Amino acid sequence: MNDFSFYSPTRFVFGRKATDKVGETLSASGYRRALIVYGQGSVARLGTLDRVVASLDAAGVEHVELGGVRPNPEIGLVREGVELARKHGVDVILPVGGGSAMDCAKAIALGAVYDGDVWDFFRKRATPAARVDVACVVTIPASGSEASNSCVISNDEEHLKCGINTDLNRPVIAILDPELTFTLPAYQTAAGVTDMIAHIMERFFSGEPAVGATDNIACGLVRAAMDAAPKVMENPEDYDARAEIMWVGTLAHNGLAGCGLGIPGLRDGDWTCHGLEHELSALDTKITHGAGLAVIFPAWMRYVWREHPERFLEFGSQVFGIEPVDPEVDELDVEVTPGQAVEYAVEATIDELQEFFVSLGMPRTLSEFGVTEDDIEKMMPGLKINRGESFGSFMKLTLDDAREIYRSAL
């Protein structure tokens, strides 16, 4: 087990009607003026925003609003939010929505107390030293941003999508009300489940040796998500299944599933698949992050598994019950070598994972997004800026390796 530092300061308020406790919770924590950050319509259309505003009013918490956050939030709106936060002297940023609203809010929180341009943090020209606190109302379980140290923002002018990881990004409060997720479209639910499973796998496949306690946590979370997802596809108002998915999404990305698996001084995982997908959704901002991961992760797995096959065997065993055949025990029609037995088990594991994603309605190939081979080169400059010439901890990859992974996923 490698050394690690685990920090998860977020207070979680979880359960039915938790949305109506926002004002009470913020007021009790000493906040007096909030900047509400939300997306492009559903939060307002479904009445969630009204409930949050009513709760703030009842508790005497003043508020201003910034709407219009898009999927893959853009730096222009972040800059508007920074100016609003400064103008009104807010003491808490309150995103109401999914990962995009939360990431936009986190970036505003960093920029509001910084003299320069907030984009400096994402291009690694500056390191944040302070922030305005963030509390969030989660409406889409997926990103785990309500408990994570990460924040990802796009810059359309520069054709970049960049992230920053700092404990300053961790929200102080997260309101999790599973009933808010009843109305999520099936595609969005599926993309969210894919995203949270990917967060767990990025850590599981860090390239570091097994850590029994953490592996059991990680694989247990994956199984819980896979058990609950078909239930909500069949019955969107299955509260217990929705609650399972919401809590898995949080635990998948607060760092718990990577304790002891990270390389000291670096992130607690490989994160190559997220890096590859970020360039995909920078290429086309309409591509949902989780849907992109549903294609990229299996392609990456098929490319790298021989580097550490034992990790794939452990994942296959714990998540799918897949074990390599044993010629001395199993009755086989053909001769199978030990190496072939491992290969068959790993390939079966990757196939099972991809088939699960597809069963939820996720794409199998990049061509389903309209991505062509010509688009691969368009993604290389951003990947080089964000990840460098060489990247990855499970297996050290180059930009040429990335090209091959993208090509294999077409």
CATH 3.40.50.1970 in the chain is located at 11-181
CA distance 38 to 343: 46
Do 206 and 263 form a contact (C-beta atoms < 8 A)?
yes
Report whether pLDDT(330) > 70: no
Report whether pLDDT(249) > 80: yes
* Residue 228 vs residues 78, 100, 224, 259, 260: alpha-carbon distances, Å: 35, 24, 6, 25, 27
pLDDT number for residue 285: 87
Do 80 and 121 form a contact (C-beta atoms < 8 A)?
no
* pTM of the entire predicted model: 0.93
pLDDT number for residue 338: 83
When the pLDDT of each residue in the chain is averaged and rounded to a whole number, the result is 95
Under CATH, which architecture does the 186-408 domain have? Up-down Bundle (1.20)
Interval 90-129: pLDDT, tens: 999 999 999 999 999 999 999 999 999 999 999 999 999 9
- Of 9-13, 71-75, 219-223, 329-333, least confident by mean pLDDT is 329-333
CATH number of 11-181: 3.40.50.1970
CATH 1.20.1090.10 in the chain is located at 186-408
